[in-house]
Amino acid sequence: MNTARRAERLLIGLLALVWTTTLPATAPREHRIDFGGVKLALWEKSAAAPTHTIVLLHGRTWSSLPDFDLQVPGKSRSVMDALAARGFAVFALDLPGYGGSARLPGGWLSPEEAVAAVAATLRAPVVRGASPGKRVLFGWSYGARVTHLAAQRHPELMSEVILFGYPGDPAQRVSPEAEPASPPRQPTTKEAARSDFITPGSVDATVVEAFATAAVAATPVRSDWRKLEQWNEVAPEKLQLPVLLVHGVFDPYTPVDAQARSFTKFGHPDRQWVILPHSDHAAQLENAHEAFIAAIVNFVLRPPAK
């Protein structure tokens, strides 16, 4: 390794140490996105002069701030803080019925409605004007399904996508189900929040408890989805954007054979697949946090192919 390359790696390592030990915890800025008369909460933490924009989507049960801006004394677990420190404009959307966002009329949410909410957010001036570079859509778990379908429907609104903890499998189909007369509106619980942390030794107990407390406080009533057969519109070959597929090695929702079925069929040749060691479904909050952030940053900042 030449001297210049060795010095570059040393500098990157020193900056990473600074980012993980001295980054101040600040409250995110809240924006309100109008979605057919319903106000959606869009949270922002951005660098002073961001180079690229990333929009984060949460999973099935919990909202964006517990997922992506968790503050734990003595720990660095905020995805928003980490990406803002690395020069990004970072936004995190609460879909209808989650966190700071109101439910849609009738109280239900469908895949197509979630995609429409994402599209409205990506069209918002605050997102479109945030940086001169890429506009990346990132989804975790159920949010990865929303991200995939949004990329099929509205590829012009984003530059590339990141699918994290992606539960999709093109070999499986969703059958229509009978819809209850009204949304169940079941209370959320700390026990359910803790259930995302599976692998012994992958995360400290203080992080788990901080997440459980924050998650239930932000979304005390479980959001209600319907028309799940709309997920059948998702097709890997129709994803015509660069894509990063990333998940923890012990994530029960991302079996490797299912991930491979998606990865090999993605419709764009620019694609990466990263498996994070010693982690599972909530890898961004576990001890793999820095490896997770590195996977995201390395993908977005990769040099163009020649």
Is 4 within a domain? no
**SS3 call for 130:** coil
Is 147 within a domain? yes
pLDDT at 86 over 90: yes
pLDDT band at 306; cut points 50, 70, 90: confident
Q: What is the CATH number of the domain that holds 258?
A: 3.40.50.1820
Is 85 within a domain? yes
How does pLDDT run across 6-54, given as a tens digit for each residue?
A: 443 343 344 444 444 344 568 999 999 999 999 999 999 999 999 999 9
Q: What integer pLDDT is reported at residue 265 of this predicted model? A: 97
Is 10 within a domain? no
Q: What integer pLDDT is reported at residue 26 of this predicted model? A: 86
Q: Which of 146-150, 167-171, 218-222 has the lowest mean pLDDT?
A: 167-171
Half-sphere exposure at residue 147, Cβ-oriented, CA atoms within 13 angstroms = 35
Is 12 within a domain? no
Is 209 within a domain? yes
Q: What integer pLDDT is reported at residue 25 of this predicted model? A: 65
Query: Domain total for the chain?
Result: 1
* CA–CA distance, 106 with 289 (Å, rounded to integer): 38
**Closest C-alpha among 218, 216, 227, 232 to residue 108:** 227
Q: What integer pLDDT is reported at residue 145 of this predicted model? A: 98
pLDDT at 150 over 60: yes
Provide the sign of the torsion angle of the four alpha carbons 38, 136, 174, 116, taken in this order: positive
Q: What integer pLDDT is reported at residue 97 of this predicted model? A: 97
Question: What range defines the domain where residue 286 resides?
Answer: 25-170+180-300
Average pLDDT over residues 204-230: 97
pLDDT band at 304; cut points 50, 70, 90: confident
How does pLDDT run across 259-298, given as a tens digit for each residue?
A: 999 999 999 999 999 999 999 999 999 999 999 999 999 9
pTM of the predicted structure, to 2 decimals: 0.91
- Residues, the chain: 306
Is 61 within a domain? yes
Is 17 within a domain? no
